[in-house]
Structure 1
């Protein structure tokens, strides 16, 4: 049997990568271009245009997208803070301490994400009503924390596990307490990976739409605002502008986090 030339395999691989990249980038490019395309040009079915406008973004901002944007930032920041406050000790304990049932604890943490959000949404909404947390940013942040916390514990546990224990022991030899060793040695070494984990947590909160739509009515975040208001308009360029406003922060965060993500994966793989 005659083997196929090596260049055929390379061509197939590059073709597959080109299709995969196009599958992601083409919709993003269309959303960005049409978000700034004037209405007359858009409805003229022109493929390429040199005319652009900010009217669609301004319209969304006037309708309430600006306030929703700020609420999304606030909820994301609170989600990161609460998740790290609860998740860092858990991740460090899983990485540094050996105790009976540790693997079962890890499995239980991951198992909390096996239930669809829609299953617990009704009971969660009733609980938030009883606690007075319905339609509040802190209530939504707590709901997002419940979604993000398993990932934070597992990711930070892998990050802390990649830091040599010898460095912590050396700090104790020189008279540092366990807390000071964590603050002065472990935490700075884990900072790049924790930064990437924080950005991942923020994006998880930023892109979440179901809980934001169920738990809020007035204080809706940007995804919930877009789903319930912006996409209801018959003017399609405004929908593209809404999509642009939603994906822009995610693209910026991923661009800033790319080197931290590589560091996080390297630390977790040790």
Structure 2
């Protein structure tokens, strides 16, 4: 018989390595955000002073200057486009995802592969033809046209995610709703949809961030009604560094607020209750 002894030193080293890995990942995510926030408000004299890593003087002049250039309108455009993208993607993706989850029909697996394959096409391939089409039908430089383009990018993900979410909801619960007098549509809205809400919130967060961060299609399909990322690319890249940091802060802030609002559903998805 061999006795297995646990070496305390090994567990200490292992714990330190795990803590170091976690701290590295957290720093990798948070440090750029914190730097953007700090230097978005830092006084210009603090930028090029090598003796000051953390700025001590702050001002709102950078944000005011950026807003005067048109960033406020661009941010509103980005929010409208992102919300339209979520609405259209969910209006089309929820029925498709439910059908893939609940009904068995010939070619269902092939259809899933086709949906995945749609994400393989580079965006740049469709950008110029899409701009030509939009000019002909009057959707060029419109928020609706940009939202439709973003929907085409987000819809495959929404369909596949919602199909997996709906498949995880027991079919027996829907059948119980039918027994108690609900219609199939009523059973979907009163039983299936609330139970799928955490996963749908995750899909909504992905769709919002994808639309908010997208810049190539937005730069090609818009001229005057640019969203924030395209506005920053065309207007702020030649600006001083403090304007660039202010632009980075404005780009990051709305996405963080949206994720913070939707976090309750994400946490509920993992079975944790917020108090």
* Structure-1-length-normalised TM-score: 0.92
CA deviation profile, 1:144-202 (whole Å, cap 9, x unmatched): 00001011111111111111111110111122221121122222222232233222211
Question: Do 1:31 and 1:240's aligned partners in 2 also have CA atoms closer than 8 Å?
Answer: yes
**1:163 aligned residue:** 169
Residues 57-76 of structure 1: pairs in structure 2 closer than 5 A = 57-76=63-82
1:246 Cα offset (Å): 0.3
Question: Do 2:177 and 2:187's aligned partners in 1 also have CA atoms closer than 8 Å?
Answer: yes
Residues 1:254 and 2:259 are matched in the alignment: yes
Q: 1:152 to 1:263 in 2, by over 3 A?
A: farther
Residues 1:34 and 2:28 are matched in the alignment: no
Q: Which runs of 5+ in 2 are unaligned?
A: 1-6
Q: Which moved more, 1:192-201 or 1:107-116?
A: 192-201
Question: Do 1:95 and 1:157's aligned partners in 2 also have CA atoms closer than 8 Å?
Answer: yes
Secondary structure in structure 1 of the residue aligned to 2:121: coil
Residues 1:211 and 2:217 are matched in the alignment: yes
Residues 1-270 of structure 1: pairs in structure 2 closer than 5 A = 5-45=10-50, 46-233=52-239, 235-264=240-269
Q: Which moved more, 1:221-230 or 1:44-53?
A: 44-53
1:255 Cα offset (Å): 2.4
Q: Distance in 1 between matches of 2:29 and 2:59?
A: 25
CA deviation profile, 1:56-98 (whole Å, cap 9, x unmatched): 0111101000000100011111111111110010010011111
CA deviation profile, 1:98-140 (whole Å, cap 9, x unmatched): 1122111111111100011011111111111121111110000
Q: Which moved more, 1:98-107 or 1:62-71?
A: 98-107
* Structure-2-length-normalised TM-score: 0.90
| Superposition misfits of 4+ residues, deviation over 6 angstroms | none
Question: Do 2:38 and 2:55's aligned partners in 1 also have CA atoms closer than 8 Å?
Answer: no
1:240 Cα offset (Å): 0.3
